């Protein structure tokens, strides 16, 4: 019977992956961290592929521990790392550490913080009957929620002058409810700010680069710290993306 082989990328080994046999009922997903025997040590690795063996060529060591239920590296990030490895002719074991936080590279538990939002859970009239007439700030918080069209974060409420004690009071009365959201869905998907105004030297640099975007051309952007080089990069990238092209 063919054994299930996992391609495990062990960090900082100058190799793309090593093969290990998996014994179990639930096959771990790509991007999940595992502990594997490596020489005389137990090393951390990331599953980057699958294979199979009938045992006739060589015997693989067994996966020792599967550390995660969900991938540390989402599929799109793992694919990006593999592309970077191939494009720059760099072992995958040197690329993956750049995409994994230090605490997770040493095997610590992955904890993805789930942002909390607060939402109005009942009609205003019903909520007002639950609040004391002396609870001025709680009533003000209720009025604030009534005027909003979407759930609000703790930071938004603090910026509006409300304290956590007032939020907790409305939660205790079931006037508010907590809404958990996908942490990745909160990432901005479009430009939120207008680009900065360029000074003359930045404008000259961009004007020199734009005509050469359709083919390879090298440029050296020279300037002291704080002179605005990064803004040149960002505005050139914005132009490239507007043309449905890619930038790294």
| Segment holding 228, helix H or strand E | none
Q: Would you state the pLDDT for residue 107?
A: 75
Which residue ranges of the chain lie beneath pLDDT 50? 187
**pLDDT value of position 221:** 92
Contact 209, 237 (CB under 8 A): no
pLDDT of residue 60: 85
pLDDT at residue number 25: 83
3-105, CATH topology level: GIY-YIG endonuclease (3.40.1440)
Task: Spell 200-210 as b/e; 16+ CB within 10 A means b.
Answer: eebeebbeebe
Q: Which residues neighbour 214 within 8 Å (Cβ) at sequence distance 6 or greater?
A: none
Q: Give the start-to-end residue ranges of the domains of the chain.
A: 3-105, 116-180, 200-242
Start-to-end CA span in the chain (Å): 45
Please name which of 126, 133, 149, 139 lies closest in space to residue 170, comparing C-alpha atoms. 139
The pLDDT of residue 16 is 94
Dihedral sign for Cα atoms in the order 131, 136, 142, 146: positive
**Considering the entire predicted model, what is its pTM?**
0.52
């Amino acid at each position: 019977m063919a054994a299930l082989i996992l391609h495990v990328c062990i960090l900082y080994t100058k190799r793309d992956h090593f093969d290990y046999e998996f014994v179990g009922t639930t096959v771990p997903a790509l991007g999940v961290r595992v502990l594997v025997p490596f020489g005389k040590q137990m090393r951390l690795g990331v599953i980057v592929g699958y294979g199979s063996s009938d045992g006739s060529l060589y015997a693989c060591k067994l996966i020792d521990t599967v550390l995660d239920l969900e991938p540390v590296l989402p599929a799109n990030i793992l694919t990006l790392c593999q592309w970077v490895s191939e494009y720059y002719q760099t072992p995958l074991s040197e690329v993956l550490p750049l995409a994994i936080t230090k605490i997770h590279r040493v095997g610590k538990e992955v904890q993805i913080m789930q942002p909390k939002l607060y939402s109005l859970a009942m009609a205003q009239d019903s909520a007002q009957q639950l609040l004391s007439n002396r609870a001025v700030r709680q009533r003000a918080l209720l009025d604030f929620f009534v005027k909003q069209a979407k759930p609000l974060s703790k930071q938004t409420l603090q910026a509006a002058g409300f304290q956590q004690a007032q939020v907790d009071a409305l939660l205790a009365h079931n006037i508010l409810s907590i809404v958990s959201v996908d942490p990745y869905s909160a990432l901005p998907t479009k430009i939120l700010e207008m680009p900065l105004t360029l000074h003359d030297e930045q404008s000259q640099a961009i004007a020199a680069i734009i005509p050469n975007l359709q083919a390879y051309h090298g440029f050296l952007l020279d300037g002291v710290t704080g002179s605005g080089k990064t803004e040149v990069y960002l505005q050139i990238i914005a132009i490239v993306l507007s043309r449905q092209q890619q930038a790294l």
